[in-house]
Every structure is written in structure tokens, then in C-alpha cells.
Chain A
Amino acid sequence: MIATPKFESFPGNIYLKSGAVLQGYDLVYETYGELNSDCSNAVLVCHALNASHHVAGIYEEDEKNIGWWDNLVGPGKPLDTNRFFVIGVNNLGGCHGSTGPSSINPLTGKQWGGSFPFVTVEDWVEVQSRLADRLGIKQFAAVMGGSLGGMQALQWTIDKPEKVKNAIVVAAAPKLSAQNIAFNEVARQAITSDPEFFDGNFYEHGVVPRRGLKIARMIGHITYLSDDAMNKKFGRDLREDILKFSLDIEFQIESYLRYQGDKFADSFDANTYLRITKALDYFDPAASTGGDLAKALAKSQSDYLVVSFTSDWRFSPQRSREIVKALVDNQLNVSYAEIEAPHGHDAFLMDDAVYHNLIRTYFDRIWEGLQ
């Protein structure tokens, strides 16, 4: 499946939750499949920390650039693009083509850099909703996402209850724990303490805070995997057969983490990373209802599928059960599955038969409901 990025410009003001105002913004997005005549088969896929609008398929000129959820989304796949019209959007503040910190601030004629406002999950829902309006979609058959993407799906059902028929919330949490925020803060400190960060204005110095980004990615990556998965893949394997008693790469896991860090530092914007980790930290839909998530969800009209993975310690099954409890308290339709998977948080991106068959079955049910 060949994917083609599309652009939409939104010239009006958008008032962000932080109080900042953006005078217009651009979004890059991709769509797969055909929107049916009554616009009822649209599915929005929300991306997590380091992904983009490129959910599925490949690019004509870059066949190796496979969409981040290509194992789940496509013709004949669990989210079948022969049936559904699937949309992936690069979120506001991103670094893959939507307006973000590396875009030009129209007021100064220079790149935003460190002055780009902080964005929240609520802001993203608003922005995605405006795109849906533009595309003529009044109600999504489903809004779906994993991790931070799942949080967006949940927020959608709170902010735009009439626009979401089903929400599929995978490997998410109703809010971050102190430990979650702590990991994000270490990642941010790695970036902001890099001498090449320049308060976020590194563009004008022609540099990138690579070291910071690399360390941020390394710490993040550790939290996405389980201890077991890492041990199975790397154990204490050495790159060479003997200990060198030096600071060179000795263990395979060191080599792997450095490689992941380098790859990420070459492709991701530091200011975007800082803002997305902050959006994660700020996410707490129950904050406006005195900490009562059930109250926050009281106006929801959606049906839900909530999925967690047993070895995910970043957003553990317990966190998904909190979401399920709040939905049950509201007598909403919800199914919940706890998938036995060894891969940790990253399991939501893996091609696991039990998990994918469940998603397929749920989408079959959505499809039957549309007929």
C-alpha cells in the first residue's frame, strides 16, 4: 500500500490549554481506504511519543519507510482499510510536517524553537477534530491509539462524546504516575543540559542537541521493554569475547541502546520531544472532576475496547483496569483484554496473534454495526 502525505492549513486562531494562542497552523496527515458516502467508516489512529502520521503503508520514493502500525492497519489487516477510512495525523507540535517548534513563527519570521507553546492531549483532540470537520466526518467509527495515542482516544470520548462511536485504548493509563513523570524528567534534563540545546534555539546555531536526545531515547527505550525481553534478546552478551576494562561498548545491550539513541537523534526534534513528554505528564482528565475519572467520563457516549499487556511496567494492566473501572461505573459498554505478552510496553506495536485477532474481531463488530 502506497501512502501519500496530505496537508491542510487552518488559518484561524487556536487557543491552547496553556493559555497560548497560535495564529493558524498546518497539519500533515495520511489516509488509507475510502470514506463511504455517509462518512461513517472513518477511523482515527492517534500516535504516541515518537511516531507520526505515517501509520501504514510505504512511500513510493522510500519503500523502506514503513508506517509505524503497518502490521495492524492495511488491506485485510485487523484494521482493514478495505472497509474503513483510516486517518493518521501528525500532532500539533510535532516534527514530521505539522506546525511545531521547527516551523516559522509568523510574528518573528524565525523558527519558534524554545518559544513554541506547550501543547496538551486536549489541544490535540481539538486540532484532530477540526481536521475531521474539514474532511466531512461527523462521527468516527472508532478513535484508536496505543500509549499516548490511547490517552488521546480516551480524551476524545470526554471532549467530543458525540463524535466517537468506539474508542480503542491500548497500553494507556488515566494519568502518569510519579515514576512515569520521573523518567520523562530525566529524558528532558538530558536534552536541556546538552550545551547544544541553547534554550531550544539550537536551529539558529546550526546544531542539534544530539547527545541529549540520544540519552533521552536510551532511557525511554529501557522503559518500553521488559527486563525479560531485554534479557532474552541481549542477556549479558559481549560484543567481543573478553572484558576490556574500559568505557568502550562491551555489552551488546550498550551497543543496541547507543544505536537506538543515534537513530533517534538523527530523526527527531528535541523541542518536540520535550513538549510531547510534557503533554504526557499533563494528561489527567480526572483533574477537572476532583480526581474522579468516572465523573470525567460521565458524558461519554462511546463503546470501548481497552487492552493492556501483562509485562508492560510503564503503563501496567492495573492502569488500564482503572480506566475500565471508571467506564463500568458509568455503565458504558466496555470490553477489556489483558494480553499475555513478554515485550513490555512495546508489545502494543508487536504482531501478536491473540492481540491482533481481538482487534480484528472488535473491528468486525464495528463493521457489522455500520451495515
Chain B
Amino acid sequence: MKATAMNRRDYQIISGLIDQGARVLDLGCGDGALLSHLQDVRKVSGYGIELDDTKVRASVKNGINVVQADLERGLSGFNDSSFDYVILSLTLQTVHHTEKIVREMLRVGKQVIVTFPNFGFWKHRIQIFTGRVPVSKSLPYEWYNTPNIHVLTIKDFEMFCDTHNMNVIDRIVLNEAGNPIRALPNFLGMLAIYRFDKK
């Protein structure tokens, strides 16, 4: 796991953003838990994409459709607007070709849902202030073994949306306890969930 899900609170929020019976593509689906959850509660259909052998097998075991592929290479196996939602859950901060992947998500999905750990979270700021690279519940790795190569803050992401033709529909920010917050999101928020489409 690239970053820790908050007791699956993020799953509940994602399923709240998704229509019943929708077509979903889950990028970096891991063991398929999110897609399996969405199949149960939202009766969605679709596919997960995963690169790791063990996780591919775990996804098969979880009863989801999984396609083994490297998302860094794009989504050429999928047609334009062929999914209601493309989801990138806790993976944005791990990818190399961020702009290309976002472009591909907007091509294949009518809407995109992205979740990521907020680097601007106050506990991270304190650790940086004390001279350390943050290690936390949402970023549980040391600097030398982290897959999180493109850490970002909520503010960073919103600037990215402005410059990359993305129209934000929903923004939900969760604090450390997993509760949605409105005040000082970039400071108090640990996890950000965005739903957007093409401008």
C-alpha cells in the first residue's frame, strides 16, 4: 500500500460520489478492495488496473476484473469516455508521468476521482520544521524507501487543476480522525478526495 487508507472512510466517501450501476475504472487497484466494495454497495461494473503480480492475483480472488498493466504507459486499451468514473486512489503521489496519467483519465472517464495524502497536513509541517522528512499515518515510509515520489498539498493540486483543464466538481477533505472538514483544509486535512471532469 502506497499510503494508508483511513479505516476505509475514504471508500465510503468515494462510493457516495458514484452513481448506482456506474462503469468504473480503478487505476492502481491493489488487491481490488475498493472496486469490490463499489460492486457490493453501488453495483458498479468495470476493471481495476494493477502492475504487481501478487496484487493481480489478490484482485482475482476478490472477484473483480483486473488488467495487469503499467499505468505509466497510458490507457491505450480503453476507449474515450468509456467509463463513468476513473478512480486513482492514493496513487497520484506515486506516479512518474503525472500529467500524462491525468490526461488519460480525463480521456477515458466522463469524471475522475482522485484521492491523495495531503503533504500540507500540520503534522507533516511540524516534522519538516524540526528538520525531518515527514513519516505519518498517511505517509508511512522513510525517505529512502518511499514510493511517494510526487508528494503534494491540497493547494498544489488546485493549482494543477487550474492549469490542466480540470473542473473540480467535489472536494472532500478528511482530518486525522477521518471526518470531513471545511476550515483550513490544507493545514488540518490529512486526505483529499476530488471529483472532477474536463473543463
Contacts and interface: CB of A to CB of B under 8 A. Distances in A.
A66 interface: no
* Contact residues of B: prevailing secondary structure: mixed
B66 interface: yes
B196 to A, nearest CB: 24
Interface stretch (B2-10, B55-63, B129-137, B147-155): B55-63
B175 interface: no
A334 B67 CA distance: 8
A336 B67 contact: yes
B78 A365 contact: no
A48 interface: no
Interface in B39-88: 45, 47, 53, 56-57, 59-61, 63, 65-69, 77-79, 82
Interface in A329-371: 329, 331, 333-340, 354, 357-358, 361-362, 364-365
B77 A324 contact: yes
A364 B60 CA distance: 10
Contact of A329 (B53, B61, B67, B79): B79
Contacts of B63: 365
A340 B57 CA distance: 14
A220 B174 CA distance: 60
B100 interface: no
A121 B41 CA distance: 42
Nearest to B59: A335
B57 A358 contact: yes
B61 A361 contact: yes
A354 B67 contact: no
A13 B47 CA distance: 44
A328 interface: yes
B67 A324 contact: yes
A335 B79 CA distance: 17
B77 A365 contact: no
Interface in A315-329: 321, 324-325, 328-329
B110 interface: no
A335 B57 CA distance: 10
B23 interface: yes
A339 B77 CA distance: 18
Contact of B56 (A321, A329, A337): A337
A336 B50 CA distance: 10
Given A328-B77, A331-B23, A331-B45, A361 B67 contact: no
A325 B23 CA distance: 16
Contact of A361 (B57, B69, B82): B57
A334 B47 CA distance: 8
Given A325-B77, A328-B78, A329-B79, A336 B68 contact: yes
A338 B68 contact: yes
A335 B48 CA distance: 9
B77 A321 contact: yes
A321 B65 CA distance: 14
Contact of B53 (A305, A328, A333, A354): A354
Nearest to A329: B79
A80 to B, nearest CB: 16
B61 A364 contact: yes
B60 A335 contact: yes
A334 B45 contact: no
A335 B23 contact: no
B65 A335 contact: yes
A119 to B, nearest CB: 33
A357 to B, nearest CB: 6
A338 B63 CA distance: 18
A361 B65 CA distance: 13
A259 to B, nearest CB: 34
Given A333-B65, A336-B67, A357 B57 contact: yes
Contacts of B53: 337, 339-340, 354, 358
A324 B59 CA distance: 17
A304 to B, nearest CB: 9
Interface in B6-52: 23, 45, 47
Given A333-B65, A340-B53, A358 B77 contact: no
A331 B23 CA distance: 9
- 9 closest A-B pairs by CB: A336-B67, A337-B68, A325-B77, A338-B68, A354-B53, A335-B66, A361-B60, A361-B61, A358-B57
Interface of A: 305, 321, 324-325, 328-329, 331, 333-340, 354, 357-358, 361-362, 364-365
Interface of B: 23, 45, 47, 53, 56-57, 59-61, 63, 65-69, 77-79, 82
28 contacts: A305-B60, A324-B77, A328-B47, A328-B82, A331-B23, A331-B45, A333-B65, A334-B47, A334-B65, A335-B56, A335-B59, A335-B66, A336-B66, A336-B67, A336-B68, A337-B53, A338-B69, A340-B53, A354-B53, A354-B57, A357-B57, A358-B57, A358-B60, A361-B57, A361-B61, A364-B61, A365-B61, A365-B63
